[in-house]
Amino acid sequence: MLWLLFLTLLLLGSSIAGTPAPDPENELVGIVGGHSAPQGKWPWQVSLRIYVYHWASWTHICGGSLIHPQWVLTAAHCISRKDADPSAYRIHAGNVYLYGGKALLNVSRVIVHPKYVTAFLGYDLALLQLSKAVDNTAYIRPVRLPSASLDITPEHQCWVTGWGAIGMHQSLPPPYRLQQVNVQVVENEVCNQHYHKASGHVSDDSTLIQPDMLCAGSEGQDSCYGDSGGPLVCRVSGSWSLVGIVSWGYGCALRDIPGVYTRVTTYVPWITKQIGTCL
Ligand SMILES: *[C@@H]1O[C@H](CO)[C@@H](O)[C@H](O)[C@H]1NC(C)=O
């Protein structure tokens, strides 16, 4: 399991902080390979903020998705501790520009999945309850959760969005506009083989890609550092459904190394239970 050290969580600070020098080998454009998102196209996308004294500002660490007027779904690894203090977080919603000037929303409750240990073992999800429900506007609207039985295939039209790095050593430049990229879902078995190959443990039949994970992305089209917690949405019978949460990967956008997401369908019953009991 030593090679796990080479895997990367896709939250900000795990890699790009302090390594801003662009690497010509990685001159990739996009979220990686994406484009600027139109205002209002992904109205559930939020930015999770923590206060950084050094910059005296609420700083982006992860993405997230509004799944209810008062709830945000993100990755557990974006929240450092299970007993995290809700007042340590803020949510920015309703703007494609990361520091678009809108008031930040307060968080009143943090629920990390109780079985979460590390993203590489799964259970990488957390819920944040907002102090006050947000009103739907053209730019702020929750995304649908899929039905727990939905089978996601490579034929689905899926997109991932975020303000993360646009290359392995290249953070998103100002004015920090939300990026979107179309990614293809990769079956777990195939993804597991790719990861075994990347690790050099081809004959090892251990499961690296757990059933509660989902892979998507291809060479040049992927999520990257700073996108963690953000949405992977797919078109399902005419509307967007939240099928994945950006979780981890091996580098970004490398050939035959898809990004790994938390498979939301697995957790729909857990999510609805948490939200239901707090209403
Ligand atoms: C958010 O919480 C802070 C600290 O408790 C408080 O000063 C501020 O007024 C709150 N903001 C809103 C919009 O409720």
Instruction: Please indicate whether residue 171 is annotated as part of the active site.
Output: no
Residue 37 resides in a domain: no
Quote the percentage of the chain above a pLDDT of 70: 88
d(CA 169, CA 19): 7
- pTM value is 0.90
Residue 109 resides in a domain: yes
Residue 65 resides in a domain: yes
Please write the tens of the pLDDT for every residue from 231-251: 999 999 999 999 999 999 998
User: What range defines the domain where residue 101 resides?
Assistant: 43-142+269-278
Q: Are residues 186 and 48 in the same domain?
A: no
Report which ligand 1 atom has the smallest distance to the Cα of 105. 13
Residue whose CB lies within 8 A of the most ligand 1 atoms, among 50, 90, 106, 131, for a mutation test: 106
Q: What is the mean pLDDT of residues 171-198?
A: 95
Other beta carbons within 10 Å of 85: 9
Residue 205 resides in a domain: yes
Please write the tens of the pLDDT for every residue from 152-164: 999 999 999 999 9
Nearest CA to ligand 1 atom 7: 106
Cα 170 to Cα 16, 30, 199, 218: the distances in Å are: 7, 10, 24, 18
Instruction: Please indicate whether residue 77 is annotated as part of the active site.
Output: yes
Give the per-residue pLDDT at 277: 66
d(CA 4, CA 210): 14
Whether the CB of 39 sits within 6 Å of ligand 1: no
Nearest CA to ligand 1 atom 12: 106
Give the per-residue pLDDT at 30: 39
Q: Are residues 254 and 273 in the same domain?
A: no
